[in-house]
Structure 1
Amino acid sequence: MIKPQYMRFIKFVCVGVMNTANYYLVYLLLLKILHCNYLFSHITGFLCAFVISYFLNCYFVYHVQPTWKKFLAFPLTQVVNMGVQTLLLYLFVDIFAMNTIWAPFPALILTIPVTYIMTTYILTKEFV
């Protein structure tokens, strides 16, 4: 039997996979079809996935009622995430010459633990 805290983390990761797909779809659409700058594409994709993430985390992962107060606090979970992901994306692309198509993936993966801890606290007031 899987412990509830592990099940919640598994659900969190599943939502993250869906959010990554949403993010990456917007990122590629802007980057490859509309020929936007990779950082603009990244930020726009991130913001779209962010809104979807809030509702999926409220309903599917944490089973809490979404409120404006939580929605306004939810960006705090993403400030560090966005900053670290953007810095890593810049490093991977401009410093390590990684392809802009693949560079977002390691940046996303490296930020999962911090995002989980912050999201859990913001939505439930629990410490992980």
Structure 2
Amino acid sequence: MRTATSRPVTSRPVRRQILTFAAIGVINTATYYGFYLLFLIPLPYLGAHVLAFLLSMTGSFFLNARFTYRTRPTWRKFLLFPLTNAANFLITTAGVYVIVGVLHQGSRFAPLVASMAAIPVTFVVSRWVMDSEAGAVRMIA
């Protein structure tokens, strides 16, 4: 919906959501990375990656429900939320493997580098799951 002097009604909430999602992403990445380094002590890098990913994803769900999408967390959304990170998980896991296992680079920064490619995909899918009013067209508008 447009008026003569305003932007589409949906543009402001989407921009706010993107900025909040990005801020939570920074927090989530720091949380993930802290857990990753902690678990890297007793576990191999892929085990540390998986465990840190699962723990940080749970925190991400609650932060995004409250602050990004301003929606009540439900069991349905909680159970669907991992789908939002499926692409993220596959991209970052493949990236970590390629960086460490194929390119023989260090395991300390590999997850940070690998995760950058997954951010846009994660936002689009998480908005679809968390914001039940966001249709396919509005989701990318």
Quickly name the TM-score band, shorter chain normalised: over 0.9
Match of 1:86 among 65, 89, 93: 93
Q: Is residue 54 of structure 2 the alignment partner of residue 44 of structure 1?
A: no
Structure 1 stretch 59-68 or stretch 79-88: which is displaced more?
A: 79-88
**Shift, 1:30, TM fit:** 1.2
In the TM superposition, what whole-angstrom CA distance separates every residue of 1:72-114 from its partner, at most 9, and x where no partner exists? 1111101111111101110011111221001111111110000
CA distance in 2, matches of 1:12, 1:70: 17
- What is the aligned partner in structure 1 of residue 62 from structure 2? 55
Using the alignment, how far apart are the partners of 2:81 and 2:39 within structure 1?
25
Aligned equivalents of 1:114, 1:19: Cα separation in 2: 16
C-alpha RMSD over aligned residues: 1.2
One-letter code of the match for 2:34? L
90-99 or 54-63, larger mean C-alpha shift? 90-99
Partner of 1:11: 20
Looking at CA atoms only, which structure, 1 or 2, has the larger radius of gyration?
2
1:100 aligns with 2:107: yes
**Other-structure match for 2:72:** 65
Structure 1 outlier segments of 4+, above 2 Å: none
State the TM-score, normalized to the length of structure 2.
Answer: 0.84
Q: Which residue pairs with 1:20 in the alignment?
A: 29
Unpaired stretches in structure 2, ≥5 consecutive residues: 1-10
Amino-acid identity (%): 36
Please give the secondary structure, in 1, of the residue aligned with 2:63: helix
Residue of structure 1 in register with 2:39 after alignment: 30
